[in-house]
Amino acid sequence: MKEISWDEELPPDIKKTWCQWVSEVPRLSELQVPIYVLSASTVESTDVLELHCFCDASQKAYGVVIYTRVVKDCTVEVSLLVSKSRVASLTKITMPRLELLGALLAARLANKVKAIVDLKRPSKVFFWTDSKITLHWIKGSSKGWKSFMSNRVTEIQSLCDTSAWAHCPGKQNPADFLSRGVNVEILLNSDLWWKGPQFLREVDFPTDTGNDDTSISLHDISDELKKTSDYSPLTLTVLNHNSFIDGILKISNNYMSIIRVMCYVLRFIHNVKNIERLAGHLAIKELQRAEIYLVQLVQQGEFAKEITNLRKGATVPSNSKVKSLNCFLDESGILRVGGRLKYSDLSLDEKHPIVLPDKHPLTLIIVRYYHLKYLHVGSNALLYHIRRKFWIINGRNVCRKVVFQCITCFKNKPVLESQIMGDLPRERVTPSFPFCYVGIDFCGPFHIKFKKQRKGVLNKVYVCIFVCLSTKAIHLDFVSDLTSDAFIACLKRFFSRRGKSSKIFSDNAKNFVGASTELKKLYKMVSHPNETLANFLLSENIEWKFIPPKSPNFGGFISGADSLQD
């Protein structure tokens, strides 16, 4: 500004500009502004009503313009709702600060307009700016900056959702008319001013119309940082966290290599800013800071809403994956799991692990690193070691996936072929009356005392188990000893109770073999004196079958009943 007294004549250049502006004022009567910007079509509840706020700044002024965007079926209607501008202070202010003032003006005006528009229909609010530095401040933490920046960023974050802010190229920003000025001719015929940028008039407009290169110059904001004796990993300012972390992960798939690359990036930034330069081998403290910064990038990309709410002192959204973890932000802005171990002697990472998403590439790299570090441990042990520092959403499934995909683990755990079993015997698959075909086995011994015996004398008894091959019914009977006579007596009791069996299957126990011999002798003894009796016994003779020696698998159904009794 030129220092001119009120009674001095204006310089020729200013006088010419003034005369030109005065000559254009009458043409302002040609402007026609609708009184009611929301058409009658927005009455229906199916319509979508949005507010789009564009802000911009220059050395002369800064301002904001708000548009209504109504989507009905496949038609879009965009209308100018309100605008507001302010002249820049005579005191010299840097452009980043002016851009931030424009963003603050947009947040304040949108907060008032939304309260009025919501009386008709709840609306969504979107904010657009062409300043990448301003976007970085709004989406980041308000800590670490000077008071001017910190106070205004805090107010913006309290008035609106930071996730609603996006980048808009300067040529498509209608707020540029407010910050730089425009003549009447351009104003009357500008669709950009009256209808907003072209992408708003499309049914599906992009959430970020900027280019992919969203990194900003550290020199532009270095003056706004608080003076500290040591550097902080937050000095690396990148707007698009996803694109930056993706670029880092493309360098290597080894976790420690990625940490070292980040260490050298942070060291370079420190050496640019400070006279005292860092050199030599990497220190442990540098590795820790690089790891923290990588985690910050991942969390800001995956848990943006949760971090924003926690910074405002609010709770995380009800549909958040970390709702049940009672998360909080530590001094470095890291999202950690809550808990009741505040007074424990454990380390901070063990008491409150760092939260990581389950589907991020860095998470998989970390899990693979721990899997190799602890010599290809299983999924449960792997999850234990990881949770000493990180808490991964659905961590058990992630660990199982990594172990399953590990080639080394696959080669050391071959799948064995299972034995092909033979066909079941006819007696086990043919319907018959109960205990027609039975299997026999002993279990015991059991120690009992008879009533008439003196005290302290224990007698061994056994239980004979009869298993029906057809119905799997079980009959139990006591046997006083393992002699053939005792077993024959038990067998007779069984026949009297359950009926005579056609076939009996057993192992090659000596008492069973002896009993079979005794039965044959008994049959031979009674077959000679009476031919009729012999024919009857022959028609109802019991066939005794022994399973092959040293082949317990043939009597598995009997052993199963034996273990059931145990």
Residue 445 shares a structural domain with residue 365: no
Give the chain's domain count.
3
Q: Which helix (H) or strand (E) holds 137?
A: helix 132-139
Query: Is 33 a domain residue?
Result: no
CATH of the domain at 106: 3.30.420.10
CA separation for the pair 270, 291 (Å, rounded) = 16
pLDDT value at position 224?
62
Same domain, 312 and 396: yes
Q: Does residue 3 belong to any structural domain of this protein?
A: no
CA atoms of 265 and 260, how far apart (whole Å):
9
Looking at the fold, whether 406 and 435 belong to one and the same domain comes out as no
Q: Tens digit of pLDDT for each residue in 424-474?
A: 888 888 889 999 999 888 887 888 887 776 676 788 888 889 999 988 899
Q: Could you list the residue range(s) of the whole structural domain that residue 391 is in? A: 246-412
Q: Is the pLDDT reported for residue 419 higher than 90?
A: no
Rounded distance, CA 243 to CA 541, Å? 87
194 belongs to a structural domain: yes
Contact, 43 vs 85, CB < 8 A?
no
pLDDT at 283: 92
Model pLDDT for residues 133-151, shown as the tens digit of each residue: 899 888 887 777 788 888 8
What does the DSSP 8-state code read for residue 418? P
- CA dist 58 and 125 (Å) reads 24
Say yes or no: 145 and 254 in one domain: no
Q: Going along 229-315, which residue ranges are E strands?
A: none
pLDDT for the residue 328: 94
Q: Environment class of residue 309 by beta-carbon count within 10 Å: exposed (0-12), middle (13-18) or buried (19+)?
A: middle
For residue 502, being part of any structural domain is answered with yes
195 lies in the same domain as 286: no
More confident residue, 223 or 414: 414
Please classify residue 18 by burial: count the beta carbons closer than 10 Å to its beta carbon, then call 0-12 exposed, 13-18 middle and 19+ buried: exposed
Residues 500, 544: Cα–Cα separation, whole Å: 13
The predicted structure's pLDDT at residue 242: 64
Per-residue pLDDT of 164-196, as tens digits, reads: 999 998 889 999 988 888 888 888 888 888 888
Position 290 scores a pLDDT of 93
Residue 38 lies in a domain: no
Tell whether 438 and 471 lie within a shared domain: yes
> In the 8-state DSSP scheme, what is residue 48?
E
Counting residues of the chain whose pLDDT is more than 90, the rounded percentage is 34
Contact 134, 123 (CB under 8 A): no
Question: Given pLDDT bands bounded at 50, 70 and 90, which one contains residue 259?
Answer: very high
Residue 160 included in any domain: yes
The reported pLDDT for the residue numbered 350 is 95
* Cβ neighbourhood burial of 13 (10 Å; 0-12, 13-18, 19+): exposed
pLDDT single digits (tens) 52-101 = 999 999 999 999 999 988 888 778 888 889 999 999 888 888 898 999 99
| Mean pLDDT (whole number) for 16-42 | 75
Pairing of strands 61-72, 48-57: antiparallel
* Contact (CB, 8 A) for 438 and 501: yes
Q: Which of 274, 6, 235, 21 is nearest to 140 (CA)?
A: 235
Q: How confident is the model at residue 529 (pLDDT cuts 50, 70, 90)?
A: very low
d(CA 182, CA 20): 12
Domain identity same for 117 and 182: yes
Are 272 and 404 contained in the same domain? yes
Q: What radius of gyration do the chain's Cα atoms show?
A: 44
Taking alpha carbons only, the member of 61, 89, 280 closest to residue 178 is: 61
**Nearest-angstrom CA–CA distance, 310 and 74:** 38
Beta strand residue intervals within 407-502, DSSP E: 437-448, 459-468, 474-479
Split at pLDDT 50, 70, 90, the class of 239 is very low
Measured distance CA(56)–CA(182) in Å, rounded: 14
Residue 37, in any domain of the structure: no
Over residues 282-295, mean pLDDT:
93
Residues 193-213: pLDDT tens digits?
Answer: 888 898 888 877 765 555 444
Asked whether residue 440 falls in the same domain as residue 362, the answer is no
129 shares a domain with 64: yes
pLDDT confidence bin for 102, thresholds 50/70/90:
very high
Residues 59, 147: one domain? yes
We report the CATH number of the domain holding residue 322 as 1.10.340.70
Same domain, 479 and 331: no
* Interval 326-352: pLDDT, tens: 999 998 899 999 999 989 999 999 999
Assign 303 a pLDDT band (cuts: 50, 70, 90).
very high
Residue 267: inside a domain: yes
* The last residue of a domain, from among 161, 192, 224: 224
pLDDT digits (tens, 9 = 90+) for 355-414: 999 999 999 999 999 999 999 999 999 999 999 999 999 999 999 999 999 999 999 887
